[in-house]
Amino acid sequence: MAKSYTAQDISVLEGLEPVRKRPGMYIGGTGKPGLHHLIWEIVDNSVDEAMNGHATAIEVVLHKDGESITVIDNGRGIPVDKYKDGRSVLEVILTTLHAGGKFDPGNYETSGGLHGVGSSVVNALSSDFQVLIKRDGKVYEQAYQFGKPLDKVKASGKSTRTGTEIFFRPDETIFEDISFDAEWIEKRLDYSAYLHPGLKLIFKNELTKKKKEFLQEGGIVELLARVQKESKQPPVHIDSISIQAKGSHPEMPRMEVALQWTEDTKEEILAFTNGVPNPFGGTHEAGIRDGVLKAVRAYFDLHNPAPKSLAISSEDIREGLKVVISVFLVAPQFQGQKKEKLNNPFVKGSVSTIVRQEMERYLNGHSNTADAICQRIMQAAKARAASRSAMQKISRKRVLNTRLNLPGKLADCSSSSPEESELFIVEGDSAGGNAKQGRNRRTQAILPLRGKVLNAQRESFAKVSVNKELKDIIDALGCGIGDNFSTKSLRYHKVILLMDADSDGHHIATLMLTFFYRYMPELIEKGHLYIAQPPLFRIDYGNETFWVLDEKQRDKILKDLEGKRKKKISVQRFKGLGEMMARTLKDTTLDPDKRRLLRVEIPKGDEEETDTVICDLMGKDPSVRFSFIMENAETLAEVDL
Ligand code: 0RA
């Protein structure tokens, strides 16, 4: 039984003014993630109530306006009894900012130690906030605006049930946009269900009149199975390895891990603290990596499955490994306001020790599984060794003679000064042919891409470095790759992607961007990477010609011309670069005096975000990839050159 709770135990710390003054400090920002953070603050309180064993279901309602939310739980209900200053405890909780601290933990059996704390922040940032409590046979209600109560708590009826219902509408003067994204809410609830097995999470969307329920009895083992399925690659061993530890460290009452090797090349670790995802990992992620590496190395040392000549690196061990780790901490510390990264230093060692011990025990007790894992790791080590020797050959040749090593299909420029040289990477042979005819031979080189470009995000370094098309690009640029990259030997100071303005073209451009971002980030950082903008339409009006980039621009020009309506108007749509006359391509896209180029930039301060965006999108649905490049075309700096 928890110690009984009294109103006096809650100490008033601060008013809500600081929240309205600097919302970013409390919810990370006032953009879309910050807006949705309001929901998570409320839901997390209800989840806490459930984790303490007092609630079994939580419902999130997105109302018809798309701009307001209700969160309902069947917990004990926030207490409404009188606090020492005469106000109700409910009001104190909803108007007190518990800056960085927590309620006296002696009275609560919470894992996060922040019971009800975030609700005051949501209250402060809402133009309307209503709370309804069912408790002690009664219903109580209170309404707020901008964090200020409109009245006292009022008993409004009877109920045999208990629970808390919170309605809020974010303050539109604080947030950039207050419309919620149903998909975001759904995804978060979907994940939460795995982390709190047995807890029923309901999402009611009044916009679509749809209701979804998330309930996962299988917990993170089930989540891992889903991660593996989504990778579309078979597992290396059928049963995943799962570890549950209780009370190993006084500050970490619970920890759960599920892991499995797969034939996928990507390592994936989903990390959670107190049921909240940490997209940038942190000390629990570091701990699991360390523990797994140590356990596997110990197993290799004991059983010697690998030939002496085969060196096994930590990358080999991690290849294709899928992990879900969920830790529960009494006082979690995070880096970043949005709890993206766990920071408690003791967690690394603690997780590593438990994982190492449990994994070693498991491997030694399950020799079939252990064998399969060893084979998978050795396969990765062999592939890496093969690609390393291929890479060494490439760089040795380059030292001997850079020119000799150039790819056969490169039409190089005659200038040997990188400052004035440009490389056009062109999709397809026919487009490549046109570009060759239309180029300035002295300063412009053309490299046509024929085969399939690998998705550099999904494939291992080993595969990327032997892919013919990517290898040709590496050779043509002459500047090496990965750790060996150096702009000193870059042969062209402008590297320009020239692709069709259709979805295939966008796809290839996205794959190329991913490749450069992963393996030659400096090329982007130093401003050497560009995207060409070939026209999609040609409009002739008498003897005037307009080159038009997209539909929007076309419609605008046509509207203007309709107004005059004196001469004949004709519109031609280019099916692809291959169909364009060489002369046209030169005049619109190649000629430095007439063309427009987009310079590719990684937005400053957003490096981590760019990283996750690329990680998230490159693995999955092609339509998502398409919209990624379309949307981000706006964030590319536009330069006229
Ligand atoms: C403070 C004390 C108690 C419960 C809660 C807060 C509480 C907060 C939230 C927020 C959303 N749902 C909630 N449910 C409960 C303990 C009350 C007691 O001892 O009866």
For residue 182, the model assigns a pLDDT of 96
pTM for the model stands at: 0.61
CA angle (549, 453, 385) in 5-degree steps = 150
Closest Cα to atom 4 of ligand 1? 78
How many Cα atoms sit within 13 Å of 412 on the Cβ side?
Answer: 20
Structure confidence at residue 638 as a pLDDT band (50, 70, 90): very low
134 lines ligand 1 (CB under 6 A): no
For residue 337, the model assigns a pLDDT of 58
Measured CA to CA, the distance from residue 268 to residue 279 in angstroms comes to 11
Distance of CA 178 from the midpoint of ligand 1 (Å) = 28
Structure confidence at residue 628 as a pLDDT band (50, 70, 90): very low
For residue 629, the model assigns a pLDDT of 39
Q: pLDDT tens-digit profile of 356-370?
A: 999 999 999 999 999
Lowest mean pLDDT among 258-272, 320-334, 470-484: 470-484
Q: Quick check: 121 and 97 in contact, CB under 8 A?
A: yes
73 lines ligand 1 (CB under 6 A): yes
Between 111 and 229, the higher pLDDT residue: 229
Distance of CA 77 from the midpoint of ligand 1 (Å) = 5
Q: pLDDT tens-digit profile of 255-295?
A: 999 999 999 988 999 999 888 888 889 999 999 999 999 99
Distance of CA 90 from the midpoint of ligand 1 (Å) = 9
Structure confidence at residue 611 as a pLDDT band (50, 70, 90): low
Q: pLDDT tens-digit profile of 440-470?
A: 999 999 999 886 677 766 676 667 777 888 8
> Is the model's pLDDT at 123 over the cut of 80?
yes
Distance of CA 23 from the midpoint of ligand 1 (Å) = 25
Measured CA to CA, the distance from residue 328 to residue 51 in angstroms comes to 11
Closest Cα to atom 6 of ligand 1? 78
For residue 265, the model assigns a pLDDT of 87
Report strand pairing: 637-640 vs 596-599.
antiparallel
Closest Cα to atom 19 of ligand 1? 5
Distance of CA 274 from the midpoint of ligand 1 (Å) = 17
Measured CA to CA, the distance from residue 213 to residue 537 in angstroms comes to 48
356 lines ligand 1 (CB under 6 A): no
The catalytic residue among 81, 239, 502, 560 is: 502
Which atom of ligand 1 lies nearest, measured to the CA of 89? Answer: 1
Distance of CA 155 from the midpoint of ligand 1 (Å) = 18
Distance of CA 224 from the midpoint of ligand 1 (Å) = 32
For residue 605, the model assigns a pLDDT of 54
78 lines ligand 1 (CB under 6 A): yes
Domain ranges of the chain: 17-214, 220-391, 407-534, 602-641
Fold classification of 220-391 (topology level)? Ribosomal Protein S5; domain 2 (3.30.230)
Q: For the domain covering 17-214, report its CATH number.
A: 3.30.565.10
Residue 65 appears among annotated catalytic residues? no
Ligand 1: which of 4, 78, 136, 162 to mutate, most ligand atoms within 8 Å of CB? 78
165 lines ligand 1 (CB under 6 A): no
Distance of CA 121 from the midpoint of ligand 1 (Å) = 16
44 lines ligand 1 (CB under 6 A): no
Which stretch of DSSP H or E encloses residue 140? Answer: strand 138-145
Fold classification of 407-534 (topology level)? Rossmann fold (3.40.50)
CA angle (236, 240, 242) in 5-degree steps = 150
> Is the model's pLDDT at 620 over the cut of 50?
no
Ligand 1: which of 40, 69, 76, 109 to mutate, most ligand atoms within 8 Å of CB? 76
Which atom of ligand 1 lies nearest, measured to the CA of 163? Answer: 14
Q: How far is CA 638 from the centre of its chain?
A: 26
Residue 502 appears among annotated catalytic residues? yes
Residue 427 appears among annotated catalytic residues? yes
Mean pLDDT across the chain, nearest whole number? 84
Pick from 345, 241, 342: nearest CA to 295: 241
Between 519 and 170, the higher pLDDT residue: 170
Residue 606 appears among annotated catalytic residues? no
What six digits make up the tokens of 375?
């084979």
Lowest mean pLDDT among 130-139, 264-273, 424-433, 632-641: 632-641
The catalytic residue among 504, 587, 601, 611 is: 504
Structure confidence at residue 378 as a pLDDT band (50, 70, 90): very high
Report the interhelical angle of 346-365 vs 283-303 (nearest 10°). 30
Q: Collapse the DSSP code of 64 into the 3-class scheme (helix H, G, I; strand E, B; otherwise coil) and give the result.
A: coil
Q: Quick check: 561 and 591 in contact, CB under 8 A?
A: no
> Is the model's pLDDT at 512 over the cut of 60?
yes
- 407-534 shares the fold of 220-391: no
